[in-house]
Structure 1
């Protein structure tokens, strides 16, 4: 048995009062120098950055206390808003667990992260069929990019769970709890329990 000699990967963090789940896209306005530096570094390296839920503190100003689990965000598009600020469209990819966080001189938090495993290819179980139906109705009603997904995606337990976590009017703490679950069926169980 050999010891794991791979060093933890470091990832710049962009803590927010929101939870980004894998496959979801969000828009950001970037104006603080520490985050402009982070975005520039990501552009140069072709890497993403981490989005974590803020547990204590504000998005602007002093470094915050953020959740240990987050999602890597990759930049899909960027531009300038009417106010001249940098605007980004980012998409959630891999989940991570931040093991240690240090704060750079400019206030940017950088975490040593362990990547969570990829979602397994699992079929929606019969007891979660209601959730796949609910997602289909939501997508039919609101449209958007996921409405164009192949119908077979509604059989994918992980995809159904992430889309419901993204689209349902959940509290951030509930979304964070879903993000931290590794098993897609446990995620669907939790979603069923959260439905009114």
Structure 2
């Protein structure tokens, strides 16, 4: 499997393939990194912090992250930047070190296992159940937040869906990382279904209790 070098941006946030992630770039080291990415049209890697802080120091990261491609950038007068990135493929860190102030790693692609036609058919069926459950979750969330319900158009592709739904869930970053680590489409859909059911049940109980007061 081919390897490549990638500068990393350790965050407490998990970025999924196809997902959008806005970032406020204020540290000089990351401003320099982003300038380089824009100048050479290269991505960087978003990887979850498992120990340490986002700014002002070094962090220990998870093994698997997501390639982030810059979609737009706004430069502020004081040198800060507002960027929007889109997640591409996943990567696994083989070696990493701080090259100056930024973390640089040698990585390899982290891809899903190849599945047969029966598994793909099962994944396609699972997505219909997920879509219905997500609609219920989203309606309950709108009720809990007392905001107007606006239907979200979900993708028809089960792989895309397996990333989009967990990006909306208000769950711990460790659980989001568990989804990112799953390299079997069917198992990932089942994990997302389980997490979505739990969050839907929590919202339902919260709304029920609020109505009883």
Same fold (TM over 0.5): yes
Match status 1:32 vs 2:27: yes
Asked whether the equivalents of residues 31 and 80 of structure 2 are also in contact (C-alpha less than 8 Å), the reply is: no
Asked whether the equivalents of residues 157 and 185 of structure 1 are also in contact (C-alpha less than 8 Å), the reply is: no
Alpha-carbon distance in 1 for matches of 2:12, 2:175: 13
Gaps in structure 2 of 5+ consecutive residues = 140-147, 199-213
TM-score by length of 1: 0.83
Structure-2 residue corresponding to 1:129: 128
Provide closer, same or farther for how the CA distance between residues 118 and 41 of structure 1 changes in structure 2, counting only shifts above 3 A: farther
Structure-2 residue corresponding to 1:85: 80
Match status 1:116 vs 2:110: yes
Alpha-carbon distance in 2 for matches of 1:84, 1:104: 22
Structure-2 residue corresponding to 1:182: 183
Asked whether the equivalents of residues 53 and 70 of structure 1 are also in contact (C-alpha less than 8 Å), the reply is: yes
Q: Pick from 98, 104, 114: which aligns with 1:103?
A: 98
User: Deviations for 1:115-153, whole angstroms, at most 9, x for unmatched residues?
Assistant: 12268794534345321223456499445xx63x6xxx3
What count of residue pairs does the alignment treat as equivalent?
183
Gaps in structure 1 of 5+ consecutive residues = none
Alpha-carbon distance in 1 for matches of 2:169, 2:29: 32
Asked whether the equivalents of residues 25 and 81 of structure 2 are also in contact (C-alpha less than 8 Å), the reply is: yes
Structure-2 residue corresponding to 1:46: 41
How many Å apart are 1:159 and its aligned residue?
1.3
**Higher Rg of the two aligned structures:** 2
Alpha-carbon distance in 2 for matches of 1:71, 1:142: 29
SS in 1 for 2:42: coil
SS in 1 for 2:107: strand
Superposed CA RMSD in Å reads: 2.5
Structure-2 residue corresponding to 1:166: 167
TM-score by length of 2: 0.76
How many Å apart are 1:97 and its aligned residue?
0.4
Provide closer, same or farther for how the CA distance between residues 168 and 12 of structure 1 changes in structure 2, counting only shifts above 3 A: same
Is 131-140 or 51-60 further displaced after alignment?
A: 131-140
Alpha-carbon distance in 1 for matches of 2:161, 2:82: 29
How many Å apart are 1:193 and its aligned residue?
2.2
The structure carrying a bigger helix percent of its residues is 2
